[in-house]
């Protein structure tokens, strides 16, 4: 370990939530109100291997990012913000350290200056959730590797989603069987260990490796299930994961991308789905176990109603057609959707005199306005849209045979505007 590198306390003890460390470097970050702080040791896991960094506090200030430098130094981005120094001082005082942190030297709170001892606390809820999800990923990837020979080619663990990509595809049944097998590993509550095997052991050890890793190789073992090179914190026994769910499977890059949820996140998603199921059950007045049937029945009813409405609209159109005058015809109808409306315009056009004429169907009502379709025979239908635009500010246009658009006006205003055409 060189002089610049930070001792990674999470490596030996992933359950360490608080620690004290010596500040070795501190400088203002590019963004205002942020300080980059390097310490001699840290329990903060930096972003890496597809996993988001730990959050928490350093000397009472929020830690918003953690990155591992090539030289092994762990850089904490500390948010001092406006009044951040005072907040940090208060938190520091409660912790019994750095009570005078309110002093700021060169934009850096005194509590964060090199040589100071700082107290760090990681956001344990966030970290433990990451540990549950990361370990769950090892189990799923290990099982798929053992059973199907798939390799994990991508892993993403953010606060919003957990995905893992493999270079092979499974059927729905195989995915459900995989999920069950992964949960059986949880129930067996087997140990999860991390160690640095020596060169001799590495010769013979079979392990998965996501990518080349610099320095000594850390191998994480889920007993009887998986060996994988990994530097992240994991739970120490699989029972702590609680529940592993595969919630989405997409074809991806010749293989598949699984969206997974483990532990607290899996529980939260089940609770959310439970609430959804209860709501649908209530709305459809059916038992929760039968909401899919109830939804299918409702859709069938909606489809039947739509069919009924189409028939009624066709009858309404027929009545309008039969009562239309011989010359220009302007029809107003509240209930008419666009397909029967267009069919009615075509039928009205056919009835127009050989010498030429115009017709139009206005669907809607006074107040909310009308959607119109107009046609012509031996006359340009665009004169209708042109007149409505010019007199009533209507929108729309089209071809000489047919125009369509909308107009915010009353039936009386529209008929007046069209009366001299
Ligand atoms: Zn891992």
Tokens describing residue 173: 């049944």
Closest CA to 115 of 44, 64, 72, 59: 59
Per-residue pLDDT of the chain in tens (421 residues, 90 and over written 9): 445 799 999 999 999 999 999 999 999 888 889 999 999 999 999 998 788 899 999 999 999 999 999 999 999 999 998 654 444 444 444 443 343 444 466 788 999 999 999 999 999 999 999 999 999 999 999 999 999 999 999 899 988 889 999 999 999 999 999 999 999 999 999 999 999 998 888 888 888 886 656 678 899 999 999 999 998 999 999 999 999 999 999 998 889 999 999 999 999 999 999 999 999 999 999 999 999 999 999 999 999 999 999 999 999 999 999 998 878 999 999 989 999 999 999 999 999 988 889 999 999 999 999 999 999 999 999 999 999 999 999 999 999 999 999 999 999 999 999 998 8
Of the candidates 386, 388, 349, 357, the residue with the CA atom closest to the CA atom of residue 371: 388
Q: Please tell me the predicted confidence (pLDDT) of residue 207.
A: 87
- Distance from Cα 419 to the centre of ligand 1, integer Å: 78
The hierarchical CATH code for the domain 127-271 is 3.30.980.10
Q: What is the pLDDT of residue 29?
A: 85
141 CA distance to ligand 1 middle (Å): 10
**According to the model, what pLDDT value does residue 320 have?**
94
Distance 152 CA to ligand 1 centre (A): 12
Tell how far the Cα of 134 is from the centroid of ligand 1, in angstroms: 5
**Closest listed residue to residue 249, CA positions, set 238, 257, 239, 260:** 257
Question: How confident is the model at residue 293, as a pLDDT?
Answer: 95
Cβ atoms of 396 and 406 within 8 Å: the answer is yes
What pLDDT shows up at residue 3?
55
Distance in angstroms (rounded) separating the CA atoms of residues 192 and 185: 11
Alpha carbon of 368 to ligand 1 centroid (Å): 60
Domain residue spans of the chain: 7-122, 127-271, 325-418
Distance 227 CA to ligand 1 centre (A): 10
CA 45 / ligand 1 centre spacing (Å): 12
User: Is CATH 1.10.3470.10 the right assignment for the domain spanning 7-122?
Assistant: no
CB proximity list for 220: less than 8 A, separation 6 or greater: 138, 192, 193, 194, 226, 227, 228, 229, 230, 234
Question: What CATH fold (topology level) applies to the domain 325-418?
Answer: Diaminopimelate Epimerase; Chain A, domain 1 (3.10.310)
* 49 C-alpha to ligand 1 centroid (Å): 8
* Inter-CA distances, 375 with 317, 353, 358, 389, 412, Å: 16, 13, 6, 16, 20
């Amino acid at each position: 370990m060189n002089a610049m590198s930070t001792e990674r306390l999470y490596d030996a003890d992933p359950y360490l939530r608080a620690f004290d460390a010596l500040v070795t470097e501190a400088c203002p970050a590019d963004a205002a109100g942020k300080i980059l702080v390097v310490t001699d040791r840290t329990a903060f896991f930096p972003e890496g291997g597809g996993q988001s960094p730990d959050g928490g506090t350093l000397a009472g200030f929020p830690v918003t990012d953690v990155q591992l430098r090539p030289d092994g130094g762990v850089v904490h981005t500390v948010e001092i913000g406006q009044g951040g120094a005072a907040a940090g001082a208060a938190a520091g005082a409660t912790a019994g350290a750095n009570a005078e942190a309110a002093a700021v030297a060169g934009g850096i709170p005194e509590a964060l200056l090199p040589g100071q001892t700082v107290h760090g606390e990681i956001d344990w809820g966030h970290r433990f959730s990451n540990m549950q999800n990361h370990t769950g990923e090892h189990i799923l990837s290990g099982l798929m590797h053992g059973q199907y020979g798939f390799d994990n080619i991508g892993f993403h663990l953010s606060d919003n989603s957990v995905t893992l990509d493999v270079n092979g595809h499974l059927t729905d049944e195989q995915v459900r069987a995989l999920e069950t097998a992964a949960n059986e590993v949880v129930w067996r509550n087997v140990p999860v260990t991390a160690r640095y095997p020596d060169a001799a052991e590495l010769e013979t050890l079979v392990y998965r490796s996501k990518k080349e890793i610099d320095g000594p190789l850390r191998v994480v073992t889920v007993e009887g299930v998986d060996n994988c090179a990994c530097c992240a914190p994991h739970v120490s026994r699989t029972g702590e994961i609680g529940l592993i769910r595969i919630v989405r499977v997409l074809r991806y890059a010749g293989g598949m991308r699984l969206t997974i949820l483990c532990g607290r996140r899996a529980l939260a998603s089940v609770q959310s789905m439970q609430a959804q199921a209860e709501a649908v059950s209530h709305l459809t007045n059916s038992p929760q176990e039968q909401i899919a049937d109830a939804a299918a029945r409702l859709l069938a009813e909606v489809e039947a109603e739509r069919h009924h409405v189409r028939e009624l609209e066709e009858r309404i159109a027929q009545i309008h057609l039969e009562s239309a005058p011989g010359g220009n015809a302007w029809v107003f109808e509240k209930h008419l959707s666009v397909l029967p409306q267009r069919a009615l315009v075509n039928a009205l056009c056919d009835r127009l005199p050989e010498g030429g004429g115009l017709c139009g169907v206005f669907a809607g009502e006074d107040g909310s306005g009308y959607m119109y379709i107009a046609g012509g025979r031996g006359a340009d239908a665009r004169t209708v849209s042109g007149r409505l635009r010019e007199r009533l500010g209507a929108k729309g246009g089209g071809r000489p045979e047919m125009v369509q658009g909308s107009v915010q006006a009353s039936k009386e205003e529209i008929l007046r505007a069209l009366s001299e055409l």
